[in-house]
Structure 1
Amino acid sequence: MSADNQSATRVLQRFVMPLDKDPDVFPLYVDPEAIVLDADKDTVGGDKSAKALNAAASRQSTTTGAKIAVEDVLGRHSFRVRAGQELSFGTYFNGFAAGYWRRWTIVDSVRLDVTLTGAGAHLIVYKSMANGRSQKVDDAVVTGDGESTLSFDLTLTPFQDGGWYWFDVIAGGADAVITAATWSAEVPEDRVTPGTVTVGITTMNRPDFCAALLSQIGSDDEVKALLDEVLVMEQGTKKVADDEGFPAAEKSLDGKLRVIEQANLGGSGGFARAQLETLRAGNSSYVLFLDDDIIAEPESILRTVTFGDLARRRTIVGGHMFSIYSRADMHSYGEVINRFRFWWQSAPSVLPNWDFGARNLRSTRWLHKRIDVDFNPWFFCLIPVEVMESIGLGLPLFIKWDDSEYGVRAQAAGFPTVSMPGAAVWHVPWTDKNDALDWQAYFHQRNRFVAALLHSPFKRGGRMVFESFQHQVMHLMSMQYSVVEMRHQALLDVLDGPDKLHADLPTKLGQVRELRKQWQDADLQGDPDAFPPPRRAKPKKRDMDTEVPTRREQTKSKLIGAVRQFKGVRPLSREFPEAVLPAMDAKWYRLATLDAAVVSMPDGTSAAYYQRDPEQFRAALKKTVDIHKRLHAEWPRLAALYQERLGDVTSPDAWARTFGIEDAG
């Protein structure tokens, strides 16, 4: 090999077992179940009913009840397979997502090395294709009583569209113990030394979570070797430094922790501060964003840095989200932006809320196809310094849409985003939050329109204006007057242009909360006895149907509900609710039939008392018509203005002024 073609070995991925040995997460690391592959989409065909039936069937559990013994987890990188037992490591954290490495990195072949003991132990290497079908690739048997290392050289050529590598172990007459396993590759010498990272964590009154997260990061020496600094942007009144776990967490990070106290500037203010500090220090290759309310798998940091170092071009590398409440349940696997609606959604073919405890990776076809994304949410996201230098920092949006807008902006500049299998955190699922109904509704609405004005390929934002108007009417028919008014204010602020975004960052939350207090539907009560019992002067002939109606039935409900808004209310509804609805059943087409209701919030902690007000409905409807007509008319001018000002608004200098820092660089 010539001097210009020198190469060296770099470890891409290590075999790991869970830090806390929690049995709930074992399905993500080791699998005792067989393969029960779900039906192929071409076999199912295009019939709508058949596809729906197959989608439901694919979610059915295939587990036999086999369990992994906690005592078999011998350490972070070691595991015991009992005599006669067959286990697969074709799992989320221990399989090798070959399709992603094939598409996005310079790696074209990998070497699997597995070190284990146990005479007669049989190790089998498998691969899958993008359609989920698996094939045996190679195998070997341990012949002696001592420690053996079994090695396999594996090409990435057949993984253009997706697919995984993994290994299974069948123990012989004695227990087999895996003491190490790595996936490695020969890479150019200039790609051997790992890049370094500044970690940015934005925290707001979650000191216990944040302290625990710091300890998780500090638990692995190889992870710590990559860290230049761990920044905690402290924006709350309950300080992480006051938590009982903080001293140990701080010690575990060997002097690399720095807590920055600043005003509550939201997630965007915290993460932008991490970006700015990373650029000012000039030491790191990447900044890594982490939410404060997560449980981390520290190995994910190593994997994303390695992937970023070996990427074909500078790439944002993110991870996936598992539910912190049901820890084998995948909540977010890959996100894209529907450009016509300009709304985030799961990537095509992704089935969200996937339970690995019910159906394993090897049995799930869609998990083998490579999923390409537009952005990765910032609960776990690694951004190269070169990307920030090229496109600037995040937008000052407080919360919501800063991560998705940044991914779309980076994509337009030639920097892709990869949501990488095998890198993940555990987080509170979005479905368990109230953020479409509480003060966050303002930021959802304003920030979505800001992002669309910047990046929508359609002249007037595609479906954006019409859909916003439609949602306003539905909220009005649902008696959610506070939500409607917050969304009104959001659009008025959008119409004011981009120059107020920085100035509004420290004050807008307080203003929105004060605005929201004016409406009864925003008065949340945790006491079940805070509201009067339901009562109607004339009981309904049948109970309210809680099944999902057809599209035709929904259209009928919409028309009837709209007509009702211009009629008087039933007198008794001024004193008593007509129904008590749990959050799951509080849909607009049910609320539109009522004059008053007690409605639970999605997180289950509280409820609100909704009352229909025809006068309020008429006034709000007129306002929403006027605002949306204006927004539609002014879209081209506004889009040009936001796009012209983007570079200034996201510049390090603009953010430095917001943070009160004189020198941005």
Structure 2
Amino acid sequence: MTETVRRVLQRQIMPVDRDLDVLPLYVDPDPAVLDADKYAVGGNKAAKELNWASLRQAVSSGETIHPDQIVDRHAVRVRRGARLSFGTYFNAFPASYWRRWTIVDTVRLTVELEGRGAGVTVYKSMANGRSQRVEARQVEDGDTGTFVFELPLGPFADGGWYWYDVAAGEQDSVVTATWDAEVPADRAASGTVTVAITTMNRPDFCADLLAQLGSDDDVLAILDEVLVMEQGSRKVVDASRFPAAEKALDGKLRVLEQGNLGGSGGYARGQLETVRAGVSTYALMMDDDVVCEPESLLRAVTFGDLARRPTIVGGHMFSLYSRSRLHSFGEIIQTWRWWWMSPEHVLPEWDFGARNLRSTRWLHRRVDVDFNGWFMCLIPRAVLEEVGLSLPIFIKWDDSEFGVRAKAAGFPTVTFPGAAVWHVPWTDKNDALDWQAFFHQRNRLISALLHSPYPHGGRVVRESLNHSIAHLVSMQYSTVELRQQALEEVLAGPDRLHEVLPTRLAEVNAFRKQYADAQLESDPDAFPPVRRKASRRSHQELEVPTRRSQLITAALAPLRQLRPPRQLSREFPETEIAAMDARWYRLARYDSAIVSMPDQTAAALYTRDPALFRDQLRRIVRLHAELYRRWPELSAEYRAKLPQITSPEAWEETFRPWTGGDA
């Protein structure tokens, strides 16, 4: 008979800093107000649109607990006569994930209550969000009680959570809780971690993150090493809070300086160091500008330790600016388009402060993913040894390509509820238009060449063509040119990816500066005043056009670009357009416009240039035709050379200027 032991899976936690904005992720005083089932709504378009709108409506009362009710990191006080639910993101138990991906088949919940008359009720949910009462207990004799619940994982094939509610009796009640399970003795010990943080000119952010990692003794116990890949000119070691963070990590911190090789070069260095050391069970990729919930590391490692097979365990990302808002609950690759997206039933930008977990039907269905972003992603060393390290592609698509590559080799990725960081959401960045446009375009195509199951990449070439033309009619000539250069680099094959890694960013930045749309000004008075002849359509300029209207604009906009621009537009911009309204079908109407950037820090003057339009359009068509024609041979070449490109040996050569070959 196999020897077994008890292992803690999850502990009740409260916010490290007692931040009121994040309390909805830990405790919930509101009742559940479950939204309508999609099958009850039916297929009527108007009914579905009304239901989607109602899903976004807040049902929260705004009630919360007082920070003084937080006794410590693991205990909270429920005031006399009040009821508090722990069916929340960080304190509910994601039963369906444990059932699907791990060897655990039964969990034990132990709840400790202080307070005469206090009671605890355990609930579970189904994949459709409906909750069921499991069992209830109450403190009957004395002022304390310890209650144990054995909870099977069998009924969670498609989704569902366990959680508990606590009601205080005639006096305040203090509650703590632990989830554990019986596991084989050879799975009792925790795996260990090398944390890989890539940083670039964010010394204060990075120092704060290091302090967070060193703030929890249990987290510190599983850390072998924390590696900071320093790639900037403003060093983390110079941050005022760095000495305290270094001391908290107790000798486990190592800062490695190297050139700016992007996220992929930074993370690959951490992966290489982990593989070559051969000590850690996992390498944890983490951005330098995140705020970390330390318990997330323990949960991710525990889940990975008990997984059926080596599994990549990713965390979720909450918004750093709206801290109860979840950016995405999981991402997949839509293979026909070869584009990352949330699964169909997942709603992005979900605010737990407005509608709680128990009131949100779609959050109870398990979400299976293709990859997890490297803002927080735990990768078993065994996976790195089997499938190789990151692609040398600077930024964008390195994490998603790795997830797809690992999945093809039999190593799944799980984006695990209850493990998360706070980060600046992608929606607040400008990465589709600035220098990053080059890497978006190039790396998406490389990833598709490596993994698309379709002979010519499915829709990816046509979509690339459409997007390039949309940028072109929007007067975003620098973005178009970068996309063209990206195509040329893809067509040149995979041999120079390592070679150009240290220099490509500087070349891209220097090149794009010659275009007006890339010359940003923070001062509004840097631009001439807006002047334009009166237009009958001026009152409609901010309307969202219908699908039919957009198709007509798409057909006519390229023809309009061939006409000479209005003379007045050469001296004065015709309009100002806010970033939120800067869509291609709106920009295509003008001959010049002042357009603000998504981060709200600057704006650029766009001016229409028919000669440049014709030149770029010819190249767009030629390059996309060549890519489509050569797709089969290019795909075969990239796939054949992938093992060599991602090998530790190839990366050691790339790092040699900073390591002397001694990685």
TM norm. shorter chain > 0.5: yes
Quote the sequence identity (%): 63
Identify the match of residue 303 of structure 1 among 299, 303, 314. 299
Letter in 1 for 2:326: M
CA separation in 2, counterparts of 1:147 and 1:575?
79
CA separation in 2, counterparts of 1:605 and 1:147?
56
1:224 paired with 2:220, answer yes
Q: How does 1:137-536 map to 2 (within 5 A)?
A: 137-178=134-175, 180-536=176-532
Letter in 1 for 2:602: S
CA separation in 1, counterparts of 2:158 and 2:454?
30
CA separation in 2, counterparts of 1:238 and 1:540?
52
Identify the match of residue 98 of structure 1 among 85, 88, 95. 95
Identify the match of residue 74 of structure 2 among 74, 77, 82. 77
Deviation per CA, 1:224-253: give whole Å up to 9, x if none.
Answer: 110000000000111111001101101111
Letter in 1 for 2:570: R
CA separation in 1, counterparts of 2:542 and 2:383?
49
Out of 449-458 and 523-532, give the one that drifted further: 523-532
The structural deviation recorded for 1:49 is 2.6
Letter in 1 for 2:174: V
SS in 2 for 1:609: strand
CA separation in 2, counterparts of 1:173 and 1:545?
62
1:116 paired with 2:143, answer no
CA separation in 2, counterparts of 1:135 and 1:376?
31
1:52 paired with 2:49, answer yes
CA separation in 1, counterparts of 2:89 and 2:567?
58
CA separation in 2, counterparts of 1:418 and 1:48?
33
Deviation per CA, 1:65-120: give whole Å up to 9, x if none.
Answer: 21211111111111000000011000000000000000000000000011120010
1:563 paired with 2:572, answer no
CA separation in 1, counterparts of 2:306 and 2:398?
26
Identify the match of residue 658 of structure 1 among 643, 654, 660. 654
Letter in 1 for 2:119: H
CA separation in 2, counterparts of 1:359 and 1:463?
37
TM-score (norm 2): 0.99
CA separation in 1, counterparts of 2:519 and 2:591?
17
Q: How does 1:579-598 map to 2 (within 5 A)?
A: 579-598=575-594
Q: Is this contact kept in 2: 1:118–1:144, CA < 8 A?
A: no
1:63 paired with 2:69, answer no
The structural deviation recorded for 1:283 is 0.6
Letter in 2 for 1:646: L
Q: Is this contact kept in 1: 2:195–2:285, CA < 8 A?
A: yes
TM-score (norm 1): 0.98
Q: Is this contact kept in 2: 1:653–1:664, CA < 8 A?
A: no
Partner of 2:597: 601
CA separation in 2, counterparts of 1:561 and 1:279?
53
Identify the match of residue 22 of structure 1 among 15, 19, 22. 19
Partner of 1:39: 36
Deviation per CA, 1:423-454: give whole Å up to 9, x if none.
Answer: 00000000000000000000000000000000
SS in 2 for 1:483: helix
Q: Is this contact kept in 2: 1:656–1:662, CA < 8 A?
A: no
Deviation per CA, 1:181-213: give whole Å up to 9, x if none.
Answer: 110000000000010000000000001110110
CA separation in 2, counterparts of 1:541 and 1:624?
31
Letter in 2 for 1:348: E
Deviation per CA, 1:372-428: give whole Å up to 9, x if none.
Answer: 000000000000011011100010010000000000000000000000000000000
CA separation in 2, counterparts of 1:241 and 1:431?
30
Q: Is this contact kept in 2: 1:124–1:140, CA < 8 A?
A: yes
SS in 1 for 2:628: helix
Q: Is this contact kept in 1: 2:328–2:347, CA < 8 A?
A: no
Out of 47-56 and 266-275, give the one that drifted further: 47-56
Q: Is this contact kept in 1: 2:655–2:661, CA < 8 A?
A: no
CA separation in 1, counterparts of 2:662 and 2:313?
26
Letter in 1 for 2:38: K
Superposed structure 1 runs of 4+ greater than 3 Å apart: 144-147, 537-542, 661-665
SS in 2 for 1:543: helix
The structural deviation recorded for 1:543 is 2.3
The structural deviation recorded for 1:351 is 0.3
The structural deviation recorded for 1:353 is 0.3
CA separation in 1, counterparts of 2:76 and 2:259?
46
Q: Is this contact kept in 2: 1:280–1:664, CA < 8 A?
A: no
Q: Is this contact kept in 1: 2:116–2:144, CA < 8 A?
A: no
CA separation in 2, counterparts of 1:472 and 1:461?
17
Deviation per CA, 1:120-179: give whole Å up to 9, x if none.
Answer: 00100000000000011011101244442211110001001110000000000100001x
The structural deviation recorded for 1:540 is 4.3
CA separation in 2, counterparts of 1:143 and 1:651?
63
Deviation per CA, 1:6-52: give whole Å up to 9, x if none.
Answer: 00000000100001110000000000111000000111112233222
**Residues matched between the structures, number:** 661
CA separation in 2, counterparts of 1:181 and 1:67?
20
SS in 1 for 2:495: helix
Partner of 2:549: 553
Q: Is this contact kept in 2: 1:98–1:164, CA < 8 A?
A: yes
Letter in 2 for 1:118: G
Identify the match of residue 628 of structure 2 among 601, 623, 632. 632
CA separation in 2, counterparts of 1:319 and 1:202?
17
Letter in 1 for 2:94: A
Q: Is this contact kept in 1: 2:595–2:606, CA < 8 A?
A: yes
Distance 1:123-1:556 versus aligned 2 partners, 3 A rule? same
Q: Is this contact kept in 2: 1:584–1:602, CA < 8 A?
A: yes
Q: Is this contact kept in 1: 2:290–2:421, CA < 8 A?
A: yes
Which runs of 5 or more residues in structure 2 are unaligned? Answer: none
Letter in 1 for 2:162: Y
The structural deviation recorded for 1:546 is 1.5
CA separation in 1, counterparts of 2:314 and 2:472?
38
Which runs of 5 or more residues in structure 1 are unaligned? Answer: none
Q: Is this contact kept in 1: 2:197–2:286, CA < 8 A?
A: yes
The structural deviation recorded for 1:541 is 5.1
CA separation in 1, counterparts of 2:228 and 2:283?
13
